[in-house]
Amino acid sequence: MSDSFKTSRRAFLRGSAAAAAGTVAGAASANSGPDPLITELQDWTSYTGVGVDETPYGMPIEFEKDVVRRNVEWLTADPISSINFTPIHALDGTITPQGCAFERHHSGAIELRKEDYRLMINGLVDKPLVFTYGDLERFPRTQAVYFCECAANTGMEWAGSQLNGAQFTHGMIHNMEYTGVSLRTLLEEAGLGAAGDLAGKWVYVEGADASSNGRSIPMEKALDDVLVAFKANGEALRMEHGYPVRLVVPGWEGNMWVKWLRRIEVMDGPVESREETSKYTDVLADGTARKWTWVMDAKSVITTPSPQAPISHGYGPLVISGLAWSGHGKITRVDVSRDGGVTWQNARLAQEGQTKALTRFYLDVDWRGEEMFLQSRAIDETGYVQPTKAQLREVRGLNSIYHNNCIQTWHVTPEGICENVEVS
């Protein structure tokens, strides 16, 4: 046990005696002797601070410089066709700032000016159309918060626990407030009469980057809640998220959220492109591949404590917190286990679940240094319960990569250190 840990433990025990007497005292107030941070004049009271306009577009203060996207170098051959991970272990709330929202590119992020932007709708439509960026801004807008999860999120954990950190096991996800035009509006502008019976019709969407990342989407979804988005969290999309326009496909795997959106073709069948056959399909135990696994099933993860966010404050009150989401709709309940799934407690949802968006949960406990096997399990409005790893493997075998929504376990030692372990 480290010295600082012992100190904070002693202080906290005194602190909790005060808490029992009716005040929720922090560890600091229980320390003996004057606190120079209170009794002595500090440096920052004696100079004038930084003026406005020092940073026309603000950046996080330097003390937060570790809260950044990170990649795992050995995962991909190069950073051009690669992925990095959202630092979910260091965030709270539900909205992901764009600057630290994970990126996934198949041929790198491109720089596309609004002036050079064109979106074509063609195929089985009454009149093929091309929209400029300015044209898109003149259609009625809609707005909503949605999570975007890469189907490969948690994919490295199929065979056993591998990556030590919530950022790396679960950070291929972000959650933003999008503004855009409903895809239905644009399809209706082009006219779907030529498509005849819409049942069995598809749209094929592709991006302007070299990979094009083409995907087929069934018409029913295209006319439901898909957005052609140009703003995220109130501001323009970042280049890495598809500036100036991307597709938002609520609840469905991230790969379908085509960035730098350039063309939408109405078709009478799916294209069966690379991204929906050789990739993003699920290899089952018998070697056959399951395709069209579009919806991201209910999933959750404890973000603190976690391997990159160990318990550093000693024993006593501990806030266990995490994220839950479901591509089928709202999260209605999250359970937390401290003993590897033997017993469960209801976590508190910070806000009522929103459809196809992240939900923050908390469980406030009194931790006395007992070893924990922390797990969370999400339940969505369809009644679906997030499965254990063993339950997933029963259906899918060991060959899978994508669509791993199993329950995650963090082992917590009496010192507060957390590690990724498997309790299946």
Q: Is 263 in the site for ligand MTE (CB under 6 A)?
A: no
Q: In the bound complex, what is the minimum distance in angstroms from residue 157's beta carbon to ligand MTE? A: 17
Residues 6 or more apart from 61 whose CB is under 8 A from it? Answer: none
Write out the H or E segment, with its range, that includes residue 369.
none
String marking each residue 184-223 x if it binds ligand MTE according to CB under 6 A:
-----------------------x-x-x-x----------
With beta carbons less than 8 A apart as the criterion, state whether 386 and 300 touch.
Answer: yes
Q: In the bound complex, what is the minimum distance in angstroms from residue 56's beta carbon to ligand MTE? A: 24
Q: Is 84 in the site for Mo ion (CB under 5 A)?
A: no
Selection from 36, 380, 80 nearest residue 211 by Cα: 80
Q: In the bound complex, what is the minimum distance in angstroms from residue 208's beta carbon to ligand MTE? A: 7
Sole window of 162-170, 221-229, 249-257, 312-320 interacting with ligand MTE (rule: CB under 6 A): 249-257
328 contact choice in Mo ion, ligand MTE, none (CB below 5 to 8 Å, kind-dependent): none
Residue from 5, 12, 85, 102 binding ligand MTE (CB under 6 A): 102
For residue 244, whether the previous peptide bond is cis, meaning omega lies within 30 degrees of 0, is: yes
Sole window of 61-69, 100-108, 304-312, 374-382 interacting with ligand MTE (rule: CB under 6 A): 100-108
Q: In the bound complex, what is the minimum distance in angstroms from residue 147's beta carbon to ligand MTE? A: 11
Q: Is 170 in the site for ligand MTE (CB under 6 A)?
A: no
Residue closer to Mo ion by CB (options 402, 410) is 402
Residue from 255, 303, 355, 408 binding Mo ion (CB under 5 A): 255
- Residue count at the site for Mo ion (CB under 5 A)? 4
- Residue count at the site for ligand MTE (CB under 6 A)? 21
Q: Is 258 in the site for ligand MTE (CB under 6 A)?
A: yes
Selection from 218, 215, 217 nearest residue 206 by Cα: 215
Q: What string of H, E and C letters represents the secondary structure of 226-292?
A: CEEEEEECCEECCHHHCCCCEEECCCECHHHCCCCEEEEEEECCCCCCHHHCCCCCEECCCCCEECC
Q: Is 255 in the site for ligand MTE (CB under 6 A)?
A: yes
Which residue, judged by CB position, is nearest to ligand MTE in the bound state?
207
386-419 in b/e form (b: 16+ CB < 10 A) is bbbbeebbeebeeebbbbbbbbbbbbbeeebebe
Where on the chain is the footprint of ligand MTE (CB under 6 A)? Answer: 101-106, 148, 150, 174, 207, 209, 211, 213, 240-241, 254-255, 257-260
